[in-house]
Structure 1
Amino acid sequence: MSALAVTGSPLWYAARAGGTLALLLLTATVVLGIVAGGRGAPRRIGRFELGLLHRNVALLGSAFLALHVVTAVLDPFVRLGWAVAVVPFAASYRPLWLGLGTVACDLLLAVLITTALRRRLGVRRWKAVHRLAYAAWPLAVFHAAGTGTDTRLPLQLWLYAGCVAAVAGAVGLRLATAGPGRLAGRVTAAVTAAAVPVALTVFLADGPLQPGWAHRAATTAFLLGGGR
């Protein structure tokens, strides 16, 4: 059965397209941020140009994120309501997985607001908040995989794999070219970069790729070890 037959609204397509593009651009933003801050940054591109590209990609991603949120709320099939856009885990439709997306959205919103107030906050405080984008990325990936009704499609699975591989590769490059010091931070980055693809693979295999996921996603039974 086609997605249009299920939802009866072209807004579903707009929401999924906006969300997919937002995830791709968020991934590109994270990769650029990781690479630009290390010694492995491309020498042919100046740090100013790389920083400008990073900012523009982030702004474009924010635009598609706004499209994703607005069209998802306006879609009459799920009837989310505007509060769901900022209040995590308040939706009746796949509350956990939709809530992860809301948390990611809130984190990115905090990054945008503090970036606009960067001069008033100071570089140190701004950087502390700016790092929230790295936390928003895995939440966005699991939100997309857990909420999307097209997760089983091979193209969508390859998209998730490409996003995870890109970020893991960027982290690997950053660690490989990093100088001495900050051992704790480097270990944390390495463990996180390795844990995300493993966790996503396990989640997909035992969740969205299994029969009955639509029913289980509507409850917390998946996390509590409920049956399928």
Structure 2
Amino acid sequence: MELLAPYLEAHPEPLPSVVLAEGYDSWERFIHSDARLISIIAARGTGKTTALLKRAILKRDKDAIIMAPHRSMKRRYFEQLCNLAIELFGFDAQITRDSNDRMELYVNSHTISVEHSLLGYVMDYTSNKQLLYDEPESRIDIGNIDTIARYYNRMNSDVVFVGSICTPEDTTFKQFHAYAAAQSGYTATITAESFPERLASVQEMRRYMTDRVYRMEYMCDWSAGEDEGTWYT
């Protein structure tokens, strides 16, 4: 096992992150929710990844698996996870596995793994876990809603989706959002307007995007542009 201090000395440039500000009630409710099915649709730049990692660390009733959006991002997510663990618990954490295939951190009396895909793993690995998917809309290997429901119904795992809308098409993320609501899970939509102090910078960025892109990625409107042809213009 490897202590965090020497690991971070060897990896001195962690992924820059959005710091979760105190008093953001929408994210605090998400982080501490006891629901087993959770789906959060949130605007870009609102602290999604930080909130997801914080939940993985603080909810210790089950081991957690964080699903990075792309294989190349696993290392960056792991470094961000380690740094957030230090913020919350000091150096009272240990890296129990660190390779390109598997990265694990033991903190707050449970283990957190960072993965990109669950394909090829035996059922025991995904049983009785908290599965946290970041930016599920951008994934092409996430599987269908039946696969996700199986983790919940047959394998006793909690399933958490957090991400932004990036296409008007029907996706597993949108289907899961409806499924979680129907199963009395915790669902929420967090738009850019939920963070008034960021509106000035959001409005500046809006100058460089179409109205359709803004409505989708910052106002969480997945119906925007459904019949309007190519999204990015």
TM-score band, normalised by shorter chain: under 0.3
Q: Specify which structure has the higher proportion of helix.
A: 1
- What TM-score results when the alignment is normalised by the length of structure 1? 0.28
Q: Which has the higher contact order (CA 8 A, sep 6+)?
A: 2
